[in-house]
Chains A and B, each alone.
Chain A
Amino acid sequence: MGKDVLTGTYFLTGNEACAAGALAAGCRFFAGYPITPSSEIAERMSIRLPQVGGVYIQMEDEIASMAAILGASWAGAKSMTATSGPGISLMLENIGLGVMTETPCVVVNVMRGGPSTGLPTLVGQADVMQARWGSHGDYEIIALSPSSPQEAFDYTIRAFNLAETWRVPVILLMDEVVGHMRERVVIPEKKDIKVANRRGPSEPPGKFKIFKSKKDLIPEMPVAGQGYAVHVTGLTHDERGYPAIEWEAQEKLVSRLVQKIRLNSDKIAAWEETGVEGAEIVLVSYGISTRICRAVREMAREKGLNLGLLRLEVIWPFPEKRVRELAGRIKAFLTVEINYGQIALEVERCAAGKCITRLVGHGGGTVHDPKKVFEAVEEIAS
Chain B
Amino acid sequence: MIEPQTLDHPKDLLLRKERIPHIWCPGCGLGSVLSALMDALGSSGLDLKKVAVVSGIGCTGRAAGYLNLDGFHTTHGRAIPYATGLKLANPDLTVIVFSGDGDLAAIGGNHLIHAARRNVDIKVICVNNFNYGMTGGQGGPTTPRLARTTTTGYGNPERPFNLIHLIAACGAPYVARWTSAHPHYMKIAMGEMLKKDGFSFLEVIAPCPTNFGRRNKMREIKLLQRFLEQAVLESQPDIAKADIELDSPILCGKFVDLERPSYLTALREVISAKVKVYDFRGDGRVPLEEAPVKPAAAKAPGKPAEVPAERPIIQRPVQIKLAGLGGQGIGLCGLIMGRAAAIFDHNQAVYTQEYSPEARGGASASSIIIASDKIHAPYVTEPDIMVVMAQGAYNKYQKDVRPGSRLIIDKDLVRPKDLPDSVQVQAIPATRLAEEIGQKVVANIVILGFFTALVPHISLTAMQKALKGSIPKGTEELNLRAFETGYDYGKKMQEEEAV
Where the two chains meet, the residues of A that have a C-beta atom closer than 8 Å to any C-beta of B are 1-3, 6-13, 16, 20, 28-29, 31, 37, 44, 47-48, 50-51, 55, 57, 59-61, 63-65, 67-77, 79, 93-94, 96-97, 121-122, 150, 176-177, 180-184, 186-189, 192-193, 223-235, 242-243, 288, 291-292, 294-295, 298, 366-367, 370
Contact = CB atoms under 8 A, between A and B. Distances in A.
10 contacts: A60-B110, A71-B72, A71-B84, A72-B85, A177-B352, A182-B335, A186-B297, A188-B301, A233-B73, A366-B379
Given A8-B288, A37-B355, A75-B89, A189 B302 contact: yes
Contacts of B87: 71, 75
Nearest to A122: B355
A60 B291 CA distance: 39
A2 B84 CA distance: 25
A152 B280 CA distance: 16
Given A6-B280, A57-B84, A68-B88, 11 more contacts: A9-B294, A9-B343, A11-B342, A60-B114, A68-B85, A71-B82, A73-B89, A183-B342, A183-B350, A294-B374, A298-B376
A7 B302 contact: yes
Q: Which 7 A-B pairs have the closest CB atoms?
A: A71-B85, A68-B85, A64-B81, A72-B89, A6-B280, A75-B89, A233-B73
Contacts of B279: 6, 8
B33 to A, nearest CB: 19
A55 B264 CA distance: 9
A63 B78 contact: yes
Interface in B61-101: 64-65, 68-75, 78, 80-90, 92-93
A378 B282 CA distance: 42
A293 B391 CA distance: 37
B277 interface: yes
A57 B374 CA distance: 38
Given A6-B279, A8-B291, A242-B65, A184 B352 contact: no
Contacts of A47: 284
Interface in B169-190: none
B265 interface: no
B85 A192 contact: no
B85 A29 contact: yes
Nearest to B378: A181
A225 B90 contact: yes
Contacts of B302: 7-8, 188-189
A249 to B, nearest CB: 15
B240 interface: no
Interface in B288-329: 288, 291-294, 297-302, 305
A69 B85 contact: yes
Contacts of B278: 2, 51
Max count, chain A CB within 10 A of own CB: residue among B89, B283, B338: B89
Nearest to B50: A225
B335 A97 contact: no
A225 B299 contact: no
A121 B279 CA distance: 29
Contacts of A180: 352-353, 355
A187 to B, nearest CB: 7
A192 B299 CA distance: 6
A150 B343 CA distance: 13
B88 A94 contact: no
B78 A11 contact: no
B19 interface: yes
Nearest to A10: B282
B348 interface: yes
B377 A367 contact: yes
Given A51-B277, A75-B86, A234-B73, A188 B50 contact: no
A81 to B, nearest CB: 10
B125 interface: no
B52 interface: yes
A291 B70 CA distance: 48
A288 B352 CA distance: 13
A182 B74 contact: no
B499 interface: no
Nearest to A232: B72
A232 B348 contact: no
